[in-house]
Amino acid sequence: MNTLEQILNHNQSFVQNGEYKKLKTDTKFPAKEMIIVSCMDTRLTELLPKAMNVANGDAKIIKVAGAVISHPFGAVMRSIIVGIHSLGAEEVYIVGHDDCGMSNVQTEKLIGDMIGKGISNDMITILENSGIDINRWLRGFNCIEESIRNSVNVVKNHPLIPKNVKVNGLIINPETGALRVVVDGN
């Protein structure tokens, strides 16, 4: 049985047994009026919400590699703007973590891995010749604190974010869930 079949079998049981009922919320609006931008690291899937006392329905959670907001007009920023202006969020938390896979990413190795999985050198060249700086686009960061500050600044200084929106930067320990503040948005 492949992974999709496993998921669908589980889902059928999940629905039939009414397990979804304990996760039901009354509204699509975040009860705690917050947006969390978090790394997609698998260790944070359950740990981060529990460490922040966030239950289902409390927050809009956006997962992205490294919790990095790399472009002020990209998909992550668009989601934050929608969350604030249409869904009632009043506070944003950028939450990175120790031991992040995006720290010290070697773009040359990453591109080599792509080529090893069938992406042609020609495709990389086409992207580069189309104005995409693939090394810059794929790069990680050297310092998690600096990366969090940069992402906070992208949100805080965005022309479509109201000045009264608090933007906080945190780092979570992926083993214990301990949080430390990098930027206090108050």
pLDDT class of 70 with cuts at 50, 70, 90 = confident
Contacts for 145 with CB less than 8 Å, ≥ 6 apart = 171, 182
Is residue 181 scored above 90 in pLDDT? Answer: yes
All structural domains of the chain with their residue ranges: 25-105+140-183, 106-135
pLDDT class of 80 with cuts at 50, 70, 90 = very high
R_g over Cα of the chain: 19
Residue written as tokens 């919320």? 25
Torsion-angle region of 169 (φ positive above 0: left; ψ -120 to 50: alpha; else: beta): beta
Is residue 82 scored above 90 in pLDDT? Answer: yes
Is residue 139 scored above 90 in pLDDT? Answer: no
Is residue 91 scored above 90 in pLDDT? Answer: yes
67 sits in which H/E element: none
Q: Give the residue-averaged pLDDT of 172-181.
A: 98
Selected from 2.60.120.260, 3.40.50.720, 3.40.50.620, 3.40.1050.10, the CATH number assigned to the domain covering 25-105+140-183 reads 3.40.1050.10
Handedness of CA 54, 60, 64, 68 (dihedral sign): negative
Is residue 98 scored above 90 in pLDDT? Answer: yes
Compute, in degrees rounded to 10, the torsion defined by CA atoms 9, 15, 20, 24: 130
Distance CA 151, CA 143 (A): 12
Contacts for 126 with CB less than 8 Å, ≥ 6 apart = none
pLDDT at 185: 95
Higher pLDDT, 127 or 27: 127
pLDDT at 130: 94
Contacts for 98 with CB less than 8 Å, ≥ 6 apart = 144, 171, 172, 173, 174
Percent of the chain with pLDDT over 90: 86
DSSP state of 103: B
φ, ψ for residue 46, nearest 5 deg: -100, -30
